[in-house]
Structure 1
């Protein structure tokens, strides 16, 4: 009886090993997470340094110092000012409300309305970037400091 029991253990073990060996599949690389080197916040918004605007004055945004973006040829992109809070007391306004990432030095202007309070403004912006393969939407804030 003990020999028969031992024999059945070996038969079971060989069966399990045989199933494991037969059903083993080669490693499929498609199941690995692969980093996709497409557009993202880090490689689109290069610098967001904010701006200083004197009380009651206007200043153009400098595309080389204040808000620097990098876009690839053939891709579509734009920045939209998000003014969706009607009760917010804004010390100024950014115009136009929609502009390209590659704006000119005299194209985007912040106008301070002259009030001393609040002394800073946090302008909510949204960048939309459409490449050949991806669409990226990046919310961000441009800070205006009265001087």
Structure 2
């Protein structure tokens, strides 16, 4: 009779990271950056942020984005309802485009819902490159880009 095999512990474990465990999260990001580097280089992630203030210095809108792998991703663009159609949204996008061009980016990309601003982005020259139909409760989610 052969020798009995002793069970070996697994060579890996999957576990949740705490929200404040930034070091472990960064280690995961670093793994991806190392993998992508031969293909994309090592562009650092930097934030692009603009806020719109009213006369009382209350925030009434803004644009939050990040430069990622040679593109500026617009995470959030929002304006108070009273300011929509005023040209401020266009000005925010123009500032984002200028900053992206200055950094040598290929363009901007973003996503929006059907009930948000697809017509606004198309009017500014963005091209829809993807759609998730029925993303939630019948609402479509659109993905746009604008190349320079």
Q: What is the TM-score of this pair, normalised by structure 1?
A: 0.26
Q: Could you say which structure has the larger radius of gyration?
A: 1
Higher helix share: 2
Q: What is the TM-score of this pair, normalised by structure 2?
A: 0.26
Larger RCO (CA within 8 A; separation ≥ 6): 1
